[in-house]
Amino acid sequence: MNFVALLAAIVWERLVAVPRALREPSWLLAYVRAALRLVARGTDSGLARAAACALVPGLAVLLLTSLQRGYGLLYLLGATLVLVFSLGPRDLRREVNDYCAAAARGDAAETLRLGADLLGHDAGQRRGPGLPSVAEAVFVQANNRLFGVLFWFALAGPSGALTFRVTDLLRREAIERAERADAPAEAQTVSDICQRLHGCIAFLPARLLALAYGVAGSFDEAFSGWRTYLREEKDFFFDANDRLLVHAGKGALAAGWGAAPGDGPRAAAALALVDAALYVWIVALALLTLLRWLA
């Protein structure tokens, strides 16, 4: 049933433009901000507090969906709605396509605005320096907006998808709060805690996505990029998920990355690789679902 809900959510995501206000409602942001205040009250146990806050919405969804288990269509509808809500909140595909279209028609002002918007959103969701190009941001945001949610949905159902989404919101809100001029002294500590939490929950999907980049593109070059990541990021573990995806994604595109005449074509190539990786994931999940049914 979860696999059917996953397919329905992906089709819905591709065909229907879901307003961001529905993806990021005021009540959820209010909950996230209250959770950050709770984490700030006891930074010594901050990671445990942040994890508990991230789990609460997921546990509520788990309770509701467990009550729907006996009603197949009702559960399917509920699971699909939770997954659609958990994706994003921005549509990466539409953002990148708009950026590439502006670049192709030579609209420098619109290209700059769209690129800055996408890079700004990315910079608010990552540890360390910002990414140098929109194309590289595509590799990273694919995990934050899509694949991480799908991984935890496949593993733990609707509650897993929502938990991943909440950890991403906690991280983004904590980073934005820490960067304000009037930020309290503990804001940076809270930001570090939330980034560490998200790094932990994004660790496995990031590596599976890097593997999918290799399967969908140049396998040897993708793993050459992975080895570069291991060499250059050896001092990090959970905090370097983003850099792994950039190294693997650029490697998977191989010569196509260097041959692209600008960031617009590179972003289009990166998005095409993300789409191909999504097909790899769907096939893999279909096979795992089939094996479970036959077992």
Amino acid letter for position 138: V
**Residue pair 83/68 in contact by the 8 Å Cβ criterion:** no
What pTM was estimated for this model as a whole?
Answer: 0.90
Note the pLDDT of residue 35.
Answer: 95
Query: Greater confidence, 142 or 263?
Result: 142
37: exposed, middle or buried (C-beta count within 10 Å: 0-12, 13-18, 19+)?
Answer: exposed
The pLDDT mean for the chain works out to: 85
34: tokens are: 């209250």
> Which of 65-79, 230-244, 277-291 is least confident?
230-244
Give the closest residue to 57 by CA, choosing from 136, 165, 135, 131.
165
Top pLDDT among 234 and 79 is at 79
Please check whether residue 174 is in contact with residue 107, taking contact to mean a CB–CB distance below 8 angstroms: no
| Segment holding 17, helix H or strand E | none
Segment 100-156, tens digit of pLDDT: 999 888 888 888 888 887 776 555 555 444 566 888 889 989 999 999 999 999 999
Better-predicted residue by pLDDT, 259 or 113: 113
Q: Which residue has the higher pLDDT, 277 or 295?
A: 277
Whether 5 has a pLDDT exceeding 80, the answer reads yes
Task: Tell me how long the chain is.
Answer: 295
Question: Does residue 25 or residue 102 have the better pLDDT?
Answer: 102
Which pair of structure tokens corresponds to residue 81? 């709605």
Among the listed residues 144, 124, 172, the one whose alpha carbon sits nearest the alpha carbon of residue 242: 144
For 225-242, what is the mean pLDDT? Answer: 68
**C-alpha to C-alpha distances, 135 to 18, 95, 103, 131, 250, nearest whole angstrom:** 24, 12, 13, 9, 9
Q: What is the pLDDT of residue 19?
A: 72
Integer-rounded Cα radius of gyration of the chain: 19
Tokens of 274: 């993300």
Judged by average pLDDT, the poorest of 123-137, 153-167, 215-229, 245-259 is 123-137
Q: Crossing angle of helices 46-67/187-216, nearest 10°?
A: 60
Interval 67-104: pLDDT, tens: 766 667 888 898 999 999 999 788 888 989 999 999 88
pLDDT average, residue stretch 28-53: 91
How confident is the model at residue 260, as a pLDDT?
67
- The pLDDT, as a whole number, for residue 128 is 47
Looking at residue 123, its pLDDT comes to 52
Query: How many beta carbons lie within 10 A of that of residue 237, not counting itself?
Result: 11
DSSP per-residue string spanning 156-215:
HHHHHHHHHHHHHHHHHHHHHHHTSTT--TTHHHHHHHHHHHHHHHHHHHHHHHHHHHHH
